[in-house]
C-alpha cells in the first residue's frame, strides 16, 4: 500500500478584513460605517435572539450571537465568527 504524503499550506497573502464585536454595550452607539451601510441595506438585522445576516442571496441567512464578531471579508461578504475562533484566526492589522 502506498503511503500518502501530507503537505501543509498557508495563504500566500495577508488578508485584511473589517471586524466588529457585537456586545450589548455597543450595538446602539458604536457601529462602524461599513456595518451601518449593511444595516441600512437590510443585509443584517439585529434582534433579541441574534443577528441575522443576508449575505448575497436571501436563502443564505446566517445567525450570529451576542459576543460574536461580525466580519466583512475581502470580497465584501458578511459572516459571523465566535470569539474563540476569531482570536485564533486574526490579529490586529497595522
List, for residues 42-73, the tens digit of each pLDDT value.
888 877 777 777 654 555 667 788 889 988 88
pLDDT for residue 45: 82
Percent residues over pLDDT 90 in the chain: 6
- What is the residue whose three cell numbers read 443576508? 54
Q: Residue 53, SS3?
A: strand
List, for residues 3-31, the tens digit of each pLDDT value.
666 677 665 667 889 998 888 777 677 78
Return the domain boundaries, the chain: 18-89
Short-list 62, 65, 57, CA closest to 79: 62
pLDDT for residue 84: 92
**Phi and psi, residue 38, nearest 5°:** -70, -35
Instruction: Residue 52: count other Cβ atoms within 10 Å of its Cβ.
Output: 15
Amino acid at each position: 500500500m502506498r503511503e500518502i504524503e501530507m503537505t501543509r499550506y498557508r495563504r500566500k497573502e495577508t488578508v485584511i478584513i473589517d471586524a466588529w464585536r457585537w456586545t450589548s454595550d455597543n450595538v446602539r452607539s458604536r457601529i462602524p460605517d461599513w456595518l451601518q451601510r449593511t444595516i441600512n441595506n437590510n443585509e443584517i438585522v439585529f434582534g433579541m435572539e441574534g443577528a441575522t445576516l443576508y449575505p448575497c442571496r436571501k436563502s443564505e441567512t446566517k445567525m450570529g450571537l451576542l459576543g460574536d464578531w461580525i466580519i466583512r471579508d475581502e470580497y465584501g461578504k458578511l459572516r459571523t465568527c465566535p470569539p474563540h475562533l476569531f482570536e485564533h484566526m486574526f490579529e490586529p492589522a497595522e
